[in-house]
Every structure is written in structure tokens, then in C-alpha cells.
Amino acid sequence: MDYYYILFTIITFSTLEVTGKLIGASISPYAITVSRFLIGGLFILPFAISYKRKNKMHFKLKDYMRLSVPGIINVCISMLFCN
């Protein structure tokens, strides 16, 4: 089963570069970055919520801040340099 996940990831990232070059001239890099992370985050969210409930984890505001700061830095700074 792990090989299917690896194959899916390879195919997804391969098409990402090709489609990025095709639509890069017509859509701004900011819109591409926002849509990429929004779709990815919405896809991962149900798995994260079920994992959190299954393991009875409780986060505080401090924990959310410690998680969001590196994410914001990655999306706002690092990923826009790639475009």
C-alpha cells in the first residue's frame, strides 16, 4: 500500500510543475500559492481532526501559535520565492 502512496505523490508533483508552467502566465503566483495550500490544507484537515479525536489530544492557543508561525513563514515567504 505504501508504494501506491509514493506513486500518487510522484504523479501529483510531476503534474504540478507542468501545469504551473502552463498557467503561470495567466494567473498570478500569489493566487497559485493560495489555491495550492488551501486545497492541500482542506484535504489534510479531516485526517488531522480524526487523529486528534482518536488520540484525545487537546491543544491550547500557545500550541496553535507555535504551529502557525512556521506555516505562515513557509507560505508567505518561501513559496512565493519559488514562483
pLDDT tens column, 41-54: 899 999 999 998 99
- The per-residue pLDDT for 1 is 75
In angstroms, the CA 37 to CA 76 distance is 11
- The per-residue pLDDT for 42 is 93
User: Quick one: average pLDDT of 12-29?
Assistant: 76
Q: Which runs of E-coded beta strand occur in the chain?
A: none
- The per-residue pLDDT for 80 is 66
In angstroms, the CA 72 to CA 76 distance is 6
Look at 7-11, 61-65, 74-78 and tell me which has the smallest mean pLDDT: 74-78
User: Quick one: average pLDDT of 1-22?
Assistant: 82
